[in-house]
Amino acid sequence: MEPLTSEEFERIVEEAIAAVPKRFREAMENIVIVIEDEPTDDDFETADSPESYGGSFCDDELLGLYDGISLPDRVDFYELDVPDVITVYKGPHERCFEDRDELVEEVGKTIVHEIGHYFGLDDDKLYDMGY
């Protein structure tokens, strides 16, 4: 598969977000979803930190990361905090999934996985659910 343009990958991410059931999308507050080409060393440290819910991985590739305070862990004064961030990484998705259809499916799984962290689900529960 030829590398995707940034616009193509953004469209795939947008479609994956739109595929999340409306009730979950509407329940999400103070969170942004961004796209980066590659994870940084800090992103790997965040994914591996004990207080992190983790990230989405394919082998040693970080596909996505939730950085924030999950909904169940928020308290009344949380609205003053900066937004939580879900990051989806383009390069690792392209390296792990050479077939376009598979890549599209895995971007969807990454989005659901990281949104699951927002709702308080840990990696074990998400992997048991197929995400």
What's the predicted TM-score (pTM) here? 0.89
How many other CB atoms are found less than 10 A from the CB of residue 89?
A: 24
- Structural domain contains residue 43: yes
Measured between alpha carbons, how far is 55 from 128 in angstroms, rounded to an integer? 15
Q: Note the pLDDT of residue 119.
A: 93
Rounded mean pLDDT, 84-109: 95
**Domain holding 108: CATH number?**
3.30.2010.20
Measured between alpha carbons, how far is 93 from 9 in angstroms, rounded to an integer? 10
Confidence of residue 49 (pLDDT cuts 50, 70, 90): confident
Confidence of residue 81 (pLDDT cuts 50, 70, 90): confident
Confidence of residue 107 (pLDDT cuts 50, 70, 90): very high
State both tokens at 120.
């308080």
- Structural domain contains residue 54: yes
Q: How many domains does the chain have?
A: 1
Range of the domain at 41: 6-125
- Structural domain contains residue 131: no
Residue 105 CA: distances (Å) to CA of 46, 69, 97, 100, 116:
25, 27, 10, 9, 16
